[in-house]
Amino acid sequence: MITVLLVEDDPDVLELTRLFLERDLELTIDVCSSVKEALRKLNHKIYNVIVSDYAMPEINGIQLLKTLKFQGIETPFILFTGQGGEDTAIEALNSGATFYLQKSENPRFQFAKLRKMIHEAALKQRTEEIYRENNICVIIPAYNEEKFIGPTLASVPDYIFRIYVIDDASTDRTPEIIRDYGEKDTRITYIRHEINQGVGASITSGYREALKEGMDIAVVMAGDNQMDPVYLPKLLNPIINRQADYTVGNRLQGKEYRKEMPRWRFFGNSILSLITKIASGYWQLMDPQNSYTAISRRALERLDLKRIYPQYGYCNDILVKLNAYGFKALNINYPGRYNSGEKSGIRYRTYFLKVSWLLFRDFLWRLKEKYIVLNFHPLVFFYLFGVIIVLMSIIFGVYSIYLNFINETELFVIRAALSLLMFGMGSMFLLFAMLFDMEQERNTGWL
């Protein structure tokens, strides 16, 4: 049940609005015809939503909103008015109103819209209360982000308990801007690396602080303002509801999500995503290079933070380790946001080679740790036999071609057929190993 306080000085409009809203059986409506009466009721009862007119004889609706904010009352507030234009709407929203709705000549349409806003405001309020019950922190790595670190810090929602900003030896005005925001926002904890260590090292510094202060969920948002906090609840909800321990943003789900991503970047992401699927065992993840992530405390406690890769590629490294220990990861779809004129700090050729080599080593470590040390599964032998047979088939095929060139053609067809047969057999072993690995992923989850 959603309790609503309706403030309206016109008795006819007040009664009409009440009648329309009470058609919704989930709404309980209390009415009052003056601001003084509304303030008296708010002193004795807590409401889920307040709906107020703008033009009233004592003080207007925006002044009522400011009074409530001053008293520390954070109840969702909807300004529902027939007067005031765009300036009034802007002032209302800037003052903390949840929604602004202009009255129209079509009562059926306007009241239907008002009911929808009430439900959305109440849902948002309940959701934020749930978030505040959990200690949620945001980790923001920053290196020479003087243009974007300010908007990034300003966009962090109020329900976030702590903000760890890691300055990785910036040489521009980034430290000064962080300190300025820290003076206004007590949630901000400033951490500086005197020597540039890499984005992975910055994030692990934030993870250490999160563990030290007992955070329940740690979210990573880059300091370049590319990660829209509007989508933060989508990352948090699966962890709060114990559906996953790690959520990863996904910009590759559809054209509308990836339309702002440069084509070369999309191609590189797709290749690395395929390699990461094989190495990590998270076969359903589509954008594992995405650093917009959230992790539960229990998963964070299991990671050896000293061994996390310190440079770009840390996100792939973390996925491998989480899978080895049986934690579930989920895709969270959201559209990418890119700053015009900003150049990525990643050198893609060297990045691709380094991360590929990292993933190869991580893949071998995961097979050993997950399927030999912590448990046993025959897919290790399928991978082993598959690789050996495929390599042997390639060597034998090349050798057959070599013999053909020096005129030993009598047995070429037999040798070629045998090498193809071996290649097919080895490929089948590898595919079965991957299939078994996929089945293991389905069995992971919150225990």
- Digit-coded pLDDT (tens) for 294-345: 999 999 999 999 999 998 889 999 999 999 999 999 999 887 776 555 555 5
Strand pairing report for 162-168 and 136-142: parallel
For the cut 90, the answer to whether the pLDDT of residue 137 exceeds it is yes
Give the global pTM. Answer: 0.78
Least confident of 149-163, 214-228, 244-258: 244-258
Tokens of 317: 């490294």
For the cut 60, the answer to whether the pLDDT of residue 376 exceeds it is yes
Average pLDDT score, the chain: 88
Least confident of 40-54, 70-84, 175-189, 245-259: 245-259
Residue matched to tokens 């992975």: 200
Taking the C-alpha atoms of residue 290 and residue 329, their distance in angstroms, rounded to an integer, is 13
Band (pLDDT 50/70/90 cuts) for residue 272 is confident
Report the candidate in 91, 157, 169 with the shortest Cα–Cα distance to residue 129: 157
For the cut 90, the answer to whether the pLDDT of residue 406 exceeds it is no
For the cut 60, the answer to whether the pLDDT of residue 257 exceeds it is no
Band (pLDDT 50/70/90 cuts) for residue 154 is very high
pLDDT at 301: 95
Element (H, E) at 245: none
For the cut 90, the answer to whether the pLDDT of residue 57 exceeds it is no
For the cut 80, the answer to whether the pLDDT of residue 22 exceeds it is yes
Tokens of 437: 């690995």
- Residue pair 64/7 in contact (Cβ under 8 Å)? The answer is yes
Contacts of 248 (CB under 8 A, 6+ apart): 285, 287, 288, 290, 292, 293, 315, 319, 329, 330, 331, 332
pLDDT at 447: 56
Taking the C-alpha atoms of residue 445 and residue 131, their distance in angstroms, rounded to an integer, is 22
Radius of gyration of the chain from Cα atoms?
A: 29
- Residue pair 80/113 in contact (Cβ under 8 Å)? The answer is no
pLDDT at 168: 95
Q: Which residues on adjacent β-strands are paired with residue 294?
A: 219, 247
The dihedrals phi and psi of 19, each to the nearest 5 degrees, come to -65, -45
For the cut 90, the answer to whether the pLDDT of residue 370 exceeds it is yes
Q: Which residue has the higher pLDDT, 67 or 103?
A: 67
